[in-house]
C-alpha cells in the first residue's frame, strides 16, 4: 500500500494541509492520504475538517523530534523550524510500502501517482527529491519520495544527535542532505527529480520568462518562506497564490473558511474565478491559469513593479 503523507504540528498550517489534500483528491489520486498530526496543538474544529479529507490520522503528540532551537534560530532565524525534524518519522511508517511526502505548504498541479511506479525499485537508503533553488547543490526536503525502513530512521535519528555540524542549516533539510547527499554514507543516495516537481515561486530564479516557458511542466508548487498564501491574502498579483486561494474557495464552505482564517486576512474569501476547475491535466491547468490571467501575473517579484525612472547621472566611458 502506497500513501501521500504530510506533517501538521500547529494550527497555523491547517489551511495549507486542507488545500493540499483537496488538490491531491482533485487530481484523481488512487492512493491513501495520511497525516502526522499533533492533536495537542490543533483545534477540534480543524481536526474534524482534516478527518474528512485524510484516510489515516497518525497522532504524534509524544513523538515529536526537535533540532536545538538556538541552532535553528542562529542559522535560519526561524526557531519554529526546530520541530520540523519530526518529518523523519515517515521512515517509521512501515504500514506503507512507498511514501510521497509533501509539506503542508505545497500544492500539486498534476497527479503525482506515476512516481510510485517510476521509482518502484527505489531502495530505503535512497531519497527522490528535486533540487533546492540556487546554491548549494542540495535537495529540498518539502517533497520527497521514500521507502519506509526502521533502520534508516534509526540511522538518521542517531546522526542528528552528533552535534551542530550534522545539519548545515540547523533544520531538517540540512540534516537530510548531510545523510543522503553531502556526506559519504555507504548506500545513501539522492535521486534527482527536475525542479518542476517542487517549484518555489518566491525565488530569484522564477522570473517571468521562465514561468512562461515552463508553466505547463510544473507538477508541484511549494510556498517556501515565512509568508504563506493563507497569511498573505488573495490579492497578491501572483498566479500561484491566486491558484491556492481558488482551491480553498472552491472546495470549502464559507463558514469553514471564516473559521479557519479568523485570525488571518479574509479577503481571499472574495476571490472571483471560474468554479469547477481541478488541476488534473494540462487542459484544466491551462483553463485555470487562463482565468487567472497569466500575463497580468507575470511580474512575480516586488522589484519588478517599480515605475521606470530616468538616469540621474550619465558617464562617458569612451
Q: Cell digits for 135?
A: 546554491
Give the DSSP H or E segment for 290. Answer: helix 282-291
Q: Assess whether 7 and 60 both reside in one domain.
A: yes
- In 125-258, DSSP assigns E strands to 126-131, 139-146, 189-192, 220-222
Verify that 23 and 123 share a domain, yes or no.
yes
- Give average pLDDT by consecutive 10-residue segment, the chain, 318 residues: 95 96 97 96 95 97 65 43 78 97 97 97 97 88 97 90 68 88 92 94 62 89 87 72 93 92 52 34 43 40 41 46
What's the pLDDT score for residue 226?
76
Give me the helices (H) in 27-178, please: 44-53, 69-76, 114-118, 150-160, 172-177
Q: How many whole angstroms separate alpha carbon 210 and alpha carbon 193? A: 18
CATH of the domain at 184: 3.90.550.10
Tell whether 108 is covered by a domain.
yes
Co-location of 13 and 44 in the same domain? yes
Judge if 86 and 60 occupy the same domain: yes
193 and 212 inside one domain: no
Q: How far apart are CA 67 and CA 85, in angstroms?
A: 6
Q: What integer pLDDT is reported at residue 29 of this predicted model?
A: 97
- The reply to whether 310 falls in a domain is no
Q: What pLDDT score does 209 carry?
A: 77
Q: Which domain holds residue 264?
A: 208-302
Q: Is residue 13 part of a domain?
A: yes
HSE-CB for 80 with a 13 A CA cutoff = 8
Assess if residue 39 is contained within a domain: yes
The answer on 177 and 85 residing in a single domain is yes
Q: What pLDDT was estimated at residue 283?
A: 41
* pLDDT score recorded for residue 265: 42
Q: Is 14 exposed, middle or buried (0-12, 13-18, 19+ CB in 10 A)?
A: buried
Q: 111 in a domain, yes or no?
A: yes
Mind giving me the DSSP string for 55-108?
SEEEE-TTT-----HHHHHHHHS-GGGGGGGGGGGGGG-TTSSEEEEE-TTEEE
CB 148 within 8 A of CB 90: yes
Look at the chain and report how many structural domains it folds into: 2
Q: Do residue 67 and residue 168 come from a single domain?
A: yes
How many residues are recorded in the chain? 318
Residues 37 and 180 in one domain: yes
Measured CA angle at 313 (ends 311, 314), to 5 deg? 95
Q: Are both 142 and 216 inside the same structural domain?
A: no
- Let me know if residue 276 belongs to a domain: yes
317 falls within a domain: no
Amino acid at each position: 500500500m502506497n500513501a501521500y503523507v504530510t506533517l501538521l504540528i500547529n494550527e497555523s498550517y491547517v489551511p495549507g494541509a486542507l488545500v493540499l489534500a483537496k488538490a491531491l483528491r482533485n487530481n484523481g489520486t488512487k492512493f491513501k492520504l495520511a497525516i502526522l498530526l499533533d492533536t495537542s496543538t490543533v483545534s477540534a474544529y480543524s481536526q474534524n475538517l482534516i478527518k474528512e479529507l485524510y484516510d489515516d490520522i497518525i497522532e504524534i503528540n509524544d513523538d515529536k523530534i526537535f533540532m536545538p532551537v538556538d541552532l535553528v534560530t542562529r542559522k535560519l532565524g526561524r526557531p519554529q523550524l526546530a520541530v520540523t525534524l519530526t518529518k523523519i518519522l515517515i521512515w517509521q511508517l512501515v504500514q506503507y510500502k512507498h511514501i510521497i511526502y509533501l509539506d503542508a505548504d505545497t500544492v500539486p498541479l498534476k497527479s503525482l501517482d506515476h512516481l510510485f511506479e517510476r521509482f518502484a525499485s527505489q531502495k530505503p537508503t535512497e531519497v527522490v527529491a528535486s533540487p533546492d533553488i540556487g546554491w548549494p547543490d542540495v535537495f529540498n526536503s518539502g517533497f520527497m519520495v521514500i521507502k519506509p525502513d526502521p533502520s534508516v530512521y534509526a540511522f538518521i535519528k542517531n546522526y542528528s544527535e552528533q552535534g551542530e555540524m550534522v545539519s548545515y542549516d540547523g533544520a531538517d533539510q540540512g540534516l537530510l542532505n548531510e545523510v543522503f547527499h553531502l556526506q559519504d554514507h555507504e548506500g545513501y543516495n539522492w535521486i534527482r527529480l527536475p525542479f518542476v516537481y517542487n517549484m518555489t515561486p518566491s525565488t530569484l530564479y522564477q522570473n517571468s520568462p521562465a514561468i512562461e516557458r515552463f508553466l505547463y511542466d510544473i507538477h508541484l508548487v511549494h510556498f517556501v518562506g515565512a509568508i504563506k498564501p493563507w497569511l498573505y491574502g488573495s490579492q497578491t498579483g501572483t498566479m500561484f497564490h491566486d491558484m491556492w486561494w481558488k482551491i480553498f474557495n472552491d472546495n470549502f464552505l464559507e463558514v469553514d473558511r471564516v473559521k479557519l482564517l479568523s485570525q488571518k486576512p479574509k479577503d481571499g474569501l472574495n476571490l472571483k474565478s471560474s468554479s469547477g476547475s481541478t488541476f488534473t491535466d494540462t487542459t484544466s491547468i491551462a483553463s485555470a491559469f487562463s482565468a487567472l490571467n497569466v500575463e497580468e501575473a507575470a511580474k512575480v517579484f516586488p522589484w519588478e513593479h517599480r515605475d521606470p525612472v530616468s538616469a540621474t547621472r550619465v558617464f562617458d566611458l569612451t
